[in-house]
């Protein structure tokens, strides 16, 4: 049986030997886990579940990652107490990879940067955007805190082998576009439940050309089409990226020729223009030119979707020598301390400050309506984040539009949704 990437990675981690049909979609396999992740919102519930389970120790103190990123820096007393609980647990269990404060960043940007995840790994995380690591060829998926607690206790979890949808991109991507536009196109095409229970697998010449960061952006939003995972083959670019993150022994991984897919979608990208997801679902995708002149009050550049150095470069290129429109808040949150340092070194932070952006700390903050940029009733934001559900960034009477960092930067300059090429 020829395997898709999802089948290949799950079969390789199965506790019982897998022969051909055992890996057919719909089969349930119990697999060993390479990494188990939780954050400041989901770790406290997992810790509570571990106590109910009577689990005294985690299965491997080196394979648990706890990142205090959602409400960091702690936004109120209750969020501070969630971190206290998590910190106490990390100390008791002697967890190697506990990140809080100055060494913490947005988890799905931080883990690949620190080299904690690599090609072929099987990762579960108590966060729906755990699927990000598919960008470097890991099968990674989100689960709830109690499933994560079970994973922390046992080092294993059960999985249903998913059907896979293959998406192939051909042609040459026009300027001011990246992974964000391609994944928005996919979500618009499939709908927010089009990949429900399924894995997405991306390939084609556009993907081969694409930097790993763009692939991480795309894998990140697989969940926005309902996907269980968003997967990319690990190629030489992936291995270079992993080596830079101080990983030494990774290998390329690709789907088998002749693997079977539930559907195969193809797109010629040459005539595409930057895309924007309109309220209140990520599937409401329209070309940026159809939305021009729509005024916004706030622009957010950051998050596990588009808060990496390449995203900040893209924004700075557009904002260089320009000013943010008076009365608009343009908030830039580098996703990790590493991204922040690189942006300082490259002069990006200075460019953004000259343009009168607000530079904030690495944090999920406004993406989920936590803090650091909340919308009031009647306000409209354009964000490089991943979800535009009603009320996600604040008031249920506010609106969120999603786009790539170049569109976000151009919009910050004019105060209305703008194609960066039309500035």
Contact assessment for residue 260 and residue 6, using Cβ atoms and an 8 Å cutoff: no
Contact assessment for residue 157 and residue 126, using Cβ atoms and an 8 Å cutoff: no
Hunting for tokens 């993907």 — which residue is that? 207
| Per CB under 8 A, 42 contacts another protein | yes
Q: How far is CA 320 from CA 141, 314, 327, in A?
A: 38, 10, 19
First to last CA, the chain: 53
| Per CB under 8 A, 281 contacts another protein | yes
**Residues 169-228 contacting another protein, CB under 8 A:** 192-193, 196-197, 226, 228
Q: How far is CA 332 from CA 119, 302, 320, 388, in A?
A: 30, 6, 14, 18
226: its two tokens: 């309902």
Applying CB under 8 A, the span of 16-24, 40-48, 199-207, 262-270 interacting with another protein comes to 40-48
| Per CB under 8 A, 44 contacts another protein | yes
| Per CB under 8 A, 368 contacts another protein | yes
| Per CB under 8 A, 87 contacts another protein | no
Contacting residues for 413 by C-beta, under 8 A, at least 6 apart: 318, 319, 322, 323, 324, 325, 355, 423
Applying CB under 8 A, the span of 51-59, 112-120, 311-319, 375-383 interacting with another protein comes to 51-59
Among 1, 53, 254, 358, indicate the residue that binds another protein (CB under 8 A). 53
Judged by DSSP in three states, 210 sits in: coil
Between 286 and 325, how does the x/- string for binding to another protein read (CB under 8 A)? ----------------------------------------
Residues 247 and 117: their CA atoms lie apart, in Å, by 9
Residues 31 and 28: their CA atoms lie apart, in Å, by 10
Size of the site for another protein (CB under 8 A): 51
Applying CB under 8 A, the span of 136-144, 211-219, 355-363, 402-410 interacting with another protein comes to 136-144
Between 155 and 174, how does the x/- string for binding to another protein read (CB under 8 A)? ---x-x--------------
What is the number of residues in the chain? 423
| Per CB under 8 A, 92 contacts another protein | no
| Minimum CB–partner distance for residue 377 and another protein (Å) | 13
Q: How far is CA 140 from CA 39, 92, 119, 208, in A?
A: 16, 27, 10, 21
| Per CB under 8 A, 132 contacts another protein | no
Contacting residues for 338 by C-beta, under 8 A, at least 6 apart: 105, 110, 113
| Per CB under 8 A, 376 contacts another protein | no
| Per CB under 8 A, 154 contacts another protein | yes
126: its two tokens: 């108590």
| Per CB under 8 A, 78 contacts another protein | yes
Which parts of this chain interact with another protein (CB under 8 A)?
28, 41-42, 44-45, 48-49, 52-55, 70-71, 76, 78-79, 81-82, 125-128, 130, 142-147, 149-150, 153-154, 158, 160, 192-193, 196-197, 226, 228, 281, 368-370, 387, 389-392, 396
């Amino acid at each position: 049986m020829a395997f898709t990437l999802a089948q290949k990675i799950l079969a390789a981690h199965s506790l019982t030997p897998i022969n051909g049909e055992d890996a057919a979609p719909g089969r349930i396999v119990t697999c060993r886990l390479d990494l188990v992740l939780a954050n400041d919102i989901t770790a406290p519930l997992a810790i509570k579940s571990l106590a109910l389970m009577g689990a005294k120790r985690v299965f491997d103190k080196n394979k648990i990652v706890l990142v205090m990123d959602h409400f960091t820096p702690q936004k109120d007393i209750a969020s501070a107490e969630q971190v206290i609980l998590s910190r106490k647990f990390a100390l008791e269990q002697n967890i190697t990879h506990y990140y809080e404060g100055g060494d913490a960043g947005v988890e799905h940007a931080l883990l690949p940067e620190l080299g904690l995840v690599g090609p072929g790994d099987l990762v579960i995380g108590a966060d729906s955007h755990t699927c990000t690591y598919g960008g470097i060829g890991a099968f990674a998926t989100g689960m709830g805190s109690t499933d994560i607690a079970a994973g922390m206790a046992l080092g294993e979890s059960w999985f249903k082998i998913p059907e896979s949808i293959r998406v192939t991109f051909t042609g040459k991507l026009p300027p001011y576009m990246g992974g964000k536009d391609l994944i928005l196109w996919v979500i618009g095409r499939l709908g927010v439940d089009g990949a429900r229970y399924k894995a997405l697998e991306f390939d084609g010449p556009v993907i081969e050309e694409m930097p790993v960061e763009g692939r991480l952006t795309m894998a990140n939003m697989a969940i926005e089409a309902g996907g269980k995972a968003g997967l990319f083959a690990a190629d030489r670019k992936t291995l270079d990226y992993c080596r830079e993150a101080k990983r030494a022994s990774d290998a390329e991984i690709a789907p088998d020729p002749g693997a079977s897919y539930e559907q195969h979608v193809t797109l010629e990208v040459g005539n595409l223009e930057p895309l924007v997801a309109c309220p209140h679902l990520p599937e409401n995708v329209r070309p940026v030119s159809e939305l021009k002149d729509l005024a916004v009050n706030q622009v957010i550049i950051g998050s596990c979707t588009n808060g990496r150095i390449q995203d900040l470069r893209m924004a700075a290129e557009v904002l260089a020598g320009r000013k943010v429109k008076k009365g608009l808040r343009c908030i830039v949150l580098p996703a990790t301390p590493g991204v922040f340092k690189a942006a300082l070194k490259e002069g990006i932070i200075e460019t953004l400050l000259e343009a009168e952006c607000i530079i904030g700390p690495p944090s999920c903050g406004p993406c989920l309506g936590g803090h650091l940029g909340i919308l009031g009733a009647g306000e409209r934001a354009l964000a490089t984040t991943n979800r535009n559900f009603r009320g996600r960034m604040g008031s249920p009477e506010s609106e969120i539009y999603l786009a790539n960092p170049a569109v976000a930067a151009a919009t910050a300059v004019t105060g209305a949704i703008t194609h960066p090429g039309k500035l």
